[in-house]
C-alpha cells in the first residue's frame, strides 16, 4: 500500500461471531458440558446456533458499554455463521463499497468469522464452501476487483509455506486438535 498513515474505521459489524452460552469456555469445557458432536456442529455449521445467553447474563452484549448506542435488538445472544454474514453485509455496502467506488485502497482487519463472511460474499461461496474455508490468521488476503466489485483475482500476501502453515493451524483449531477458547 506504501502509505505512512491509513484512516481507521471501526464497526461492531466486523466483530467475531458471538458464541452465546459457549462464550469464555474452552473447547474441552464445551465438549464436556454439551458433547463433542454438538460443539463441532455449532462451530462449523453455517446455520446452527449454539445455545443463547439470557439478557441478564453479564456476558450478553447488552451489558458491554461499547454497544450502548446500538439498538438492543441488534445485539445477539448467540450467532451462527449465517448471522455473521447478515451482520457484516451492511458494513460492506455502507462503508466499504463507497470507498471502493472512490478508488480507495481498503484494508479490512477483522476476526476469522467476519472475514469468512466477507469472502463468502466476494467469492460467491455457497454455505458448505464457507464452512470449510480456513483463513490463515494474520495473513492479508488481497483482492483485485473489477468495476462491478467482483474479484478479478486474489492472493495471500506472504511466504506460501507460512500461509499454508497458518491455514492448517486454523483447520486444526476448528477440528478440536488444540485446546483454546471458543
pLDDT score for 173: 78
Q: State the Cα–Cα distance between residues 117 and 94, nearest whole angstrom.
A: 16
pLDDT score for 179: 41
Per-residue cell: 153 = 483475482
Per-residue cell: 81 = 455463521
The label of the residue with cell 490468521 reads 137
How far is C-alpha 40 from the geometric centre of its chain's CA atoms? Answer: 17
pLDDT score for 178: 46
Domain ranges of the chain: 12-174
H/E stretch holding 174: helix 160-174
pLDDT score for 177: 52
pLDDT score for 152: 98
Instruction: From 84, 96, 103, select the one nearest 16 (Cα to Cα).
Output: 84
Q: State the Cα–Cα distance between residues 39 and 106, nearest whole angstrom.
A: 35
Residue 112 makes CB contacts below 8 A (sequence gap 6+) with: 16, 135, 137, 170
Whether the CB-CB separation of 27 and 182 falls below 8 Å is answered with yes
Superfamily grouping for domain 12-174: Phosphoglycerate mutase-like (3.40.50.1240)
Whether the CB-CB separation of 119 and 136 falls below 8 Å is answered with no
State pTM to two decimals: 0.89
pLDDT per residue, tens digit, the chain (182 aa), is: 677 888 899 999 999 999 999 999 988 899 999 998 998 899 889 999 999 999 999 999 999 999 999 999 999 999 999 999 999 999 999 999 999 999 989 999 999 999 999 999 999 999 999 999 999 999 999 999 999 999 999 999 999 999 999 989 988 876 665 444 45
Amino acid at each position: 500500500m506504501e502509505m505512512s498513515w491509513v484512516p481507521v474505521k471501526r464497526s461492531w459489524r466486523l466483530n467475531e461471531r458471538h458464541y452465546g452460552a459457549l462464550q469464555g469456555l474452552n473447547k474441552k469445557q464445551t465438549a464436556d458440558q454439551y458433547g463433542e458432536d454438538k460443539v463441532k456442529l455449532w462451530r462449523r455449521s453455517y446455520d446452527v446456533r449454539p445455545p443463547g445467553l439470557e439478557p441478564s447474563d453479564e456476558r450478553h452484549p447488552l451489558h458491554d458499554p461499547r454497544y450502548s448506542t446500538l439498538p438492543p435488538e441488534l445485539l445477539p445472544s448467540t450467532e451462527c455463521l449465517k448471522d455473521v454474514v447478515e451482520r457484516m453485509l451492511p458494513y460492506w455496502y455502507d462503508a466499504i463499497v463507497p470507498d471502493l467506488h472512490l478508488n480507495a485502497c481498503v484494508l479490512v482487519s477483522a476476526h476469522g468469522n467476519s472475514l469468512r463472511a466477507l469472502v463468502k460474499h466476494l467469492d460467491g461461496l455457497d454455505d458448505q464452501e464457507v464452512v470449510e474455508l480456513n483463513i490463515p490468521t494474520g495473513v492479508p488476503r488481497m483482492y483485485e476487483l473489477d468495476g462491478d466489485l467482483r474479484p478479478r483475482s486474489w492472493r495471500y500476501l506472504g511466504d506460501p509455506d507460512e500461509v499454508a502453515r497458518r491455514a492448517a493451524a486454523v483447520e486444526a483449531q476448528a477440528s478440536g486438535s488444540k485446546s483454546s477458547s471458543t
